[in-house]
Amino acid sequence: MSESMIQMQRKLADVTSKLEKAERELAAERKRLDWALEKAATFYEWQGKHYLSYDVPENDGFDVIESTDPRATIDELIAGEKK
């Protein structure tokens, strides 16, 4: 196999790896967005602090969590939900 063919295979493998990573990240973001829409989540700043508010239908209300990283907070909330 020629050197140029080997380089092309390496580049193809690199591009494939990046594509697979992007697909995983997109799926995770979609999961967060679906959750946020389902829970009517809102990320906001109030009195200099950042909060994530979301519906909790089981309690007939909502919850508010202080958070500077809504993605990580939503990931934790999704992971903590009963399956």
pLDDT score at 81 = 80
pLDDT score at 82:
59
Give the count of domains, the chain. Answer: 1
Report pLDDT for 60. 84
Q: Report the amino acid identity of residue 47.
A: Q
Helix (DSSP H) and strand (DSSP E) numbers for the chain: 2, 3
Host domain of residue 22? 3-80
Cα 58–Cα 75–Cα 53 angle in degrees, nearest 5: 50
Residue ranges of the chain with per-residue pLDDT less than 70:
82-83
